C-alpha cells in the first residue's frame, strides 16, 4: 500500500493535527514505543529513530510500576542501567512524563497517544486508578516471568473478562501486550534450565491455544475495545520453522475470525530502536493487515475528537 495522503483538520489537542483519509501501513504504526524512565536517550533523539524509519502513529509508553519505587530503589535501578534521572517517582513523575509526551505530540508530524504498560498480575491484585485516568490507552504486560505456567489461551480468556470489567470504569482502548512470544520465551528458558535443548521442543508444546479457544477468544473480543498485540519479537521466532508454524497456527485463525490487532516495536534500547521496523516480514504469514490493525487508531482519534468538543 502506498503512503497515506492526509487532510489537515481543526486542532484536536491545541495544534494542527494530521488525520488520515485511509489506512496506515503496518510499518507506520507503533503502539508500544517505550519512553519515560526506560528511554535511554533524550525524547527528541528517541522520536527521531521512529520518524526516520517511517512511523506516523505512536503510543508513547512507560511501565507504571517504575513510578512506585522508593527513591533509593529507583536510584539503584537507574544507575545500574546508566539511565539519566529523567522523572521523579510518584504522582509528580506521572505529571512530568505526560507533559513530555504532550510536547512530543506537537512535533515531527506524528500522531501521538499516551499510554501505560501495566503488569497483568494487577488484574488480580488490584489496580492503581489515578494514573489510569491520564492516558489514552493501556497495555497489559503479559509476562513469561510471573513464576506460573507460560501464557496460554486460558490465561488470555481470563484477562479479557477482567479487562471488560475494568473498562466499565475506564472506557479506553486496552491491548494484550506480546502474549505469543512470551509463551515461546518461557518454554525455551525452562527447557534450558532443565538441560533440554530447545530444538527438542515440539510444535504442539509451543502452541498457545487448545481446540476451541481461538473461537472463544474471538467471540469474547468481538465488539470490544480490546486488541491483541503483534510485537517485533515475533520476527526472531520466524527464523525457526517450528516456532514459525506454531505462531501461524495460533494467530492466523484469529485474524480470519475478525480479531483486531496492534503492531509495535516494543523497543527499549537504542540498538533496537535503530533497527528497521518491517512487520510485514512476519505479519503477512499471520494474516495481519492494515485493515485489522487500524481500528484502534480510528477509535483513539474518535475519542480525542469527542473530548475536544466536550471542552
- Asked whether residue 3 is assigned to any structural domain, the reply reads no
Q: CATH number of the domain that 91 lies in?
A: 3.20.20.140
Average pLDDT, the chain: 90
- Asked whether residue 6 is assigned to any structural domain, the reply reads no
- Report which of residues 10 and 132 the model is more confident about: 132
Q: How far is CA 154 from CA 151, 160, 226, in A?
A: 8, 10, 16
Q: Is residue 14 over pLDDT 60?
A: no
Q: Residue 144 belongs to what domain range?
A: 24-310
Domains: count for the chain: 1
pLDDT digits (tens, 9 = 90+) for 75-92: 999 889 888 888 999 999
Q: Is residue 4 over pLDDT 50?
A: no
- Asked whether residue 211 is assigned to any structural domain, the reply reads yes
Cell output for 57: 502513529
pLDDT tier at 20, thresholds 50, 70, 90: low
CB atoms closer than 10 angstroms to residue 44: 11
- Asked whether residue 4 is assigned to any structural domain, the reply reads no
- Asked whether residue 13 is assigned to any structural domain, the reply reads no
Cell output for 273: 530502536
Cα gap 203→61, rounded to integer Å: 33
Q: Is residue 306 over pLDDT 90?
A: no
- Report which of residues 293 and 146 the model is more confident about: 293
Whole-number CA gyration radius for the chain = 19
The position carrying cell 475536544 is 308
CA angle 268, 137, 25 (to 5 degrees): 70
- Asked whether residue 151 is assigned to any structural domain, the reply reads yes
Cα gap 248→266, rounded to integer Å: 20
pLDDT digits (tens, 9 = 90+) for 38-63: 888 888 889 999 999 999 999 999 99
- Asked whether residue 9 is assigned to any structural domain, the reply reads no
CA 65 to chain centre: 16
Q: Is residue 12 over pLDDT 50?
A: no
Predicted confidence at residue 21, as pLDDT, reads 60
pTM: 0.91
Amino acid at each position: 500500500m502506498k503512503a497515506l495522503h492526509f487532510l489537515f483538520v481543526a486542532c484536536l489537542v491545541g495544534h494542527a493535527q494530521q488525520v488520515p483519509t485511509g489506512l496506515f501501513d503496518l510499518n507506520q504504526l507503533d503502539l508500544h514505543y517505550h519512553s519515560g524512565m526506560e528511554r535511554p536517550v533524550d525524547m527528541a533523539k528517541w522520536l527521531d529513530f521512529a520518524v526516520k524509519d517511517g512511523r506516523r502513529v505512536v503510543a508513547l509508553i512507560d511501565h507504571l510500576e517504575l513510578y512506585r519505587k522508593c527513591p533509593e530503589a529507583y536510584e539503584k535501578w537507574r544507575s545500574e542501567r546508566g539511565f539519566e534521572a529523567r522523572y521523579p517517582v510518584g504522582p509528580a513523575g506521572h505529571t512530568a512524563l505526560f507533559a513530555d509526551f504532550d510536547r512530543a505530540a506537537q512535533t515531527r508530524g506524528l500522531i501521538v497517544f499516551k499510554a501505560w504498560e501495566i503488569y497483568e498480575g494487577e488484574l488480580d491484585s488490584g489496580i492503581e486508578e489515578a494514573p489510569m485516568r491520564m492516558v489514552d490507552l493501556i497495555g497489559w504486560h503479559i509476562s513469561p516471568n510471573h513464576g506460573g505456567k507460560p501464557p496460554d489461551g486460558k490465561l488470555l480468556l481470563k484477562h479479557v473478562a477482567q479487562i471488560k470489567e475494568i473498562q466499565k470504569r475506564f472506557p479506553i482502548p486496552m491491548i494484550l501486550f506480546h502474549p505469543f512470544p512470551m509463551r515461546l520465551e518461557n518454554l525455551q528458558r525452562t527447557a534450558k534450565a532443565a538441560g533440554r535443548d530447545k530444538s527438542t521442543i515440539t510444535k504442539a508444546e509451543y502452541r498457545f491455544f487448545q481446540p476451541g479457544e481461538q473461537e472463544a477468544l474471538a467471540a469474547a473480543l468481538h465488539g470490544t475495545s480490546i486488541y491483541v498485540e503483534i510485537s517485533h519479537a515475533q520476527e526472531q521466532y520466524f527464523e525457526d520453522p517450528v516456532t514459525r508454524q506454531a505462531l501461524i497456527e495460533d494467530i492466523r485463525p484469529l485474524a480470519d475470525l475478525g480479531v483486531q490487532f496492534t503492531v509495535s516495536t516494543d523497543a527499549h534500547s537504542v540498538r533496537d530502536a535503530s533497527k528497521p521496523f518491517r512487520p510485514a516480514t512476519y505479519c503477512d504469514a499471520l494474516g495481519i493487515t492494515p485493515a485489522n490493525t487500524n481500528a484502534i487508531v480510528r477509535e483513539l482519534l474518535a475519542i480525542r475528537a469527542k473530548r475536544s468538543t466536550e471542552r
